[in-house]
Each structure stands twice: as C-alpha cells, then as structure tokens.
C-alpha cells in the first residue's frame, strides 16, 4: 500500500493487457480496480489513524496519495468524516 499502484503495472505482473485486467476485474467483482486500490489504502489509513499518532499528512504520503487534500477527500467519501475527525471519534470511544 505504500507505493503508487497502477493497473498497467499490475497487468504486466500477471501477463495481461491493462484493458483486459481492468475489464475482467470489474466484471468479476463489480468494482473498478482503481476503486479497490483506493479503498484498500483507506482501510490501511484507518488502521494507522487508530494505532499511531502520525500526522494525517504523513499517512497520506506513506500511502502514496497525490496530495493530503486528495487523501482527505477520498477518506471523507468512504465514511463521511475527515481522517482527523475519525481519529478523534475513535479515541473518544476508547475512553
């Protein structure tokens, strides 16, 4: 999760064209490959927010999001709260 993952690179690894891999993945799962990768990174971010005190900007960078703002946008889309709000809520619940 700490690298930029591109469909073309994954396709090369498994010996398919990017077009075939992304189409096949969507057909089999109902989710685009890029959405899956983004969701997996958000899941990892949740773990880091729960278990570390790393700043949101460092978590964003460690998961290879283009910018912290894009990371925050993706995180909010996945759960209606920002990473900072999520961390605060988790810590409040743990008390």
Measured CA to CA, the distance from residue 51 to residue 74 in angstroms comes to 20
Q: What local confidence, expressed as pLDDT, does residue 51 receive?
A: 95
Q: What local confidence, expressed as pLDDT, does residue 1 receive?
A: 63
pTM for this prediction: 0.85
pLDDT in tens, the chain (95 residues): 667 788 999 999 999 999 999 999 999 999 999 999 999 999 999 999 999 999 999 999 999 999 999 999 999 999 899 999 999 999 888 77
DSSP designation for 26: H
Delineate the domains of the chain, giving CATH numbers in brackets.
Answer: 7-94 (1.10.10.60)
Measured CA to CA, the distance from residue 11 to residue 31 in angstroms comes to 16
Q: What local confidence, expressed as pLDDT, does residue 6 receive?
A: 86
Q: What local confidence, expressed as pLDDT, does residue 2 receive?
A: 65
Q: What local confidence, expressed as pLDDT, does residue 95 receive?
A: 72
């Amino acid at each position: 999760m700490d690298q930029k993952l591109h469909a073309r690179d994954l396709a090369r690894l498994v010996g398919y064209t990017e077009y075939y891999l992304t189409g096949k993945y969507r057909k089999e799962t109902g989710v685009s490959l890029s959405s899956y990768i983004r969701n997996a990174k958000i899941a990892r971010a949740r773990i880091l927010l729960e278990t570390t005190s790393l700043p949101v900007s460092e978590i964003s960078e460690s998961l290879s999001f283009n910018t912290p703002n894009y990371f925050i946008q993706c995180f909010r889309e996945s759960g209606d709260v920002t990473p900072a709000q999520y961390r605060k809520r988790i810590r409040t619940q743990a008390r």
